[in-house]
Amino acid sequence: MGLTSIVLLVAAAALAVAALSATVWLWPRLAGRGTPPVLGRVGLLAACQTFTVAALALLVNYYFGFYGSWDDLLGADTGTAQITAAGAAAGLRVLDSRVVPGGRIEEVTLPGARTHLSEEAYVFLPSAYFKEPTRRFPAIIALTGYPGDPRNLMTRLDLPGRLAHAIALHQVNPAVLVMMRPSVVLPRDTECVDVPNGPQALTYFADDVRQAVTAHYRAAPGRDSWGVLGGSTGGYCALKIVMSRPDAFSAAVSLSGYYKTIVDGTTGDLFHGDKALADRNDLMWRLARLPAPPVDVLVTSSRKGEADYLPTERFLNAVRPPMRASSLILPSGGHNFNTWNRELPQALPWLVQQLAEPAPAR
C-alpha cells in the first residue's frame, strides 16, 4: 500500500479512532492496582498515541507532499537518485506518455552530459506542439520544494492544466513545461549548489536539462525562451539559477522562496569551507556585490503567515537595473499548496509572457 494512498490514510484514521474508543471503553476495567492493570493502561495509551500520530503524519505528508513513497521516506528510492556516466549520446529517455486535456505528458529521464547526473521529470507538451511540427516553443523548468515529488506539480498545483487553460484563453503562447524536483541525489538536499567534489546541481539544471530537452523536443535554445518556476526550495533555486546563469535563462517565478542557502542535516557540507562559493549562493550578497543580471523575476509571499515576507521586501528593495523584479503579496497565506494555488493563476501566465517565441523557421 503506497505511502500517499487514500486507503492507507483512511485505515490509519480508523485505527486511531478505534484505539481511542478502546481506551475509553477499557479504562474503567484497568483502574485497579498491580502490574497487569498498569501495563494495560500503558498499552492503551501507547496504542492510542501511536495510531493518532501515524494518522496525523500521513495526513500532513499527503497534503504537503514531503515524501512520495516508502522508499522516498526511508531514503532508499534509487529510481530518482541515479548517478550514472550518461554521455551526450545517451539522450533523454521517455518512460511513459499519456494524453491530457490540452496536450500530452511524458515521463522521462533526463541524463546529464556534463554532470553525469540523471533525474526523473514530467514534460507537458501543448497541443500546438503536435499541430505545428516545425515550430519551436519556449520552455519552463518547474521545481518542487524539498524533498518534493514532481507529481505534486500536476496533482496538487495542476501546472499542465493551468498552462493549457491560459493557452486556450489566448493569455499566453504555447510553451513546454518540464516538471522536476530540485534535489538530484535524494535523500540529500543539494539546494541547487555545485558542491565541490560533489553533485553539480546548478550546472545540471542550467546546462544538462536544457540541452537534453532542446535536443529531444522542439524547445527554443535561446536564453530569452527559457524560464524557471518553483516553490519553497524550488523558488530559491529558480531565482538562483536565473540570477547565476542569465546566459541560459531570462525569467523566474519564486513562490514563497527564500534567499540564502539552507545548510542543515539534510544538506550536509555544501561549500567545504569555500566562503566565496557560499557568498555566490546568497542572493542578497549577489545583489549587493555583483553586477545585476538582465533577468525578470516575480516573487510571492504573504504579509501574514509567511516567514519570508520581510526578506522578500528586502530582496525587492535591493534589485536594480538591468534586473527587474515584480511581486505578488497576499494579505495572508501559509507556506503550502493552497497559497500557491491562489498565486499561480497570475504567476504562471506572467512567466510565460516574459519568454520569447523564436521566429518561425523558413
Q: What is the pLDDT of residues 247-269, one digit of tens each?
A: 999 999 999 999 999 999 999 99
Q: What is the pLDDT of residues 321-330, one digit of tens each?
A: 999 999 999 9
Lowest mean pLDDT among 68-72, 118-122, 183-187: 68-72
Average pLDDT over residues 186-193: 95
Q: What is the pLDDT of residues 220-240, one digit of tens each?
A: 999 999 999 999 999 999 999
| Tally of structural domains, the chain | 2
Q: How far is CA 225 from the centre of its chain?
A: 21
- What percent of the chain stands above pLDDT 90? 73
One domain for residues 234 and 165: yes
The CA distance from 149 to 165, in Å, is 23
- Residue 280 counted as domain residue: yes
The CA distance from 113 to 195, in Å, is 17
One domain for residues 173 and 257: yes
Q: How far is CA 193 from the centre of its chain?
A: 15
The CA distance from 45 to 147, in Å, is 32
- Residue 69 counted as domain residue: no
Phi/psi at 314 (nearest 5 deg)?
-65, -40
One domain for residues 25 and 162: no
One domain for residues 270 and 131: yes
Which one, of 40, 36, 12, 38, lies nearest residue 26 by Cα?
40
- Residue 75 counted as domain residue: no
pLDDT of residue 64: 59
pLDDT of residue 112: 94
118 vs 19, which has greater pLDDT? 118
Q: What is the pLDDT of residues 344-362, one digit of tens each?
A: 999 999 999 999 987 765 5
Q: Which domain holds residue 27?
A: 6-64
Lowest mean pLDDT among 25-34, 99-108, 204-213, 312-321: 25-34
Task: Produce one character per residue of 129-151: b if its CB has 16 or more CB atoms within 10 Å, e if not.
Answer: beeeeeebbbbbbbbbbbbbbbb
- Residue 200 counted as domain residue: yes
| Residue 258 · residue 300 · CB < 8 Å | no
One domain for residues 19 and 51: yes
Last residue of a domain, one of 35, 64, 93: 64
Q: What is the pLDDT of residues 115-129, one digit of tens each?
A: 999 999 999 999 999
Strand ranges inside the chain, DSSP E: 93-100, 103-111, 118-126, 139-143, 176-180, 226-231, 251-255, 296-304, 324-332
One domain for residues 140 and 248: yes
Q: For residue 205, what is the domain's CATH number?
A: 3.40.50.1820
| Residue 259 · residue 311 · CB < 8 Å | yes
For residue 188, the tally of other CB atoms under 10 A from its CB is 20
- What percent of the chain stands above pLDDT 70? 91
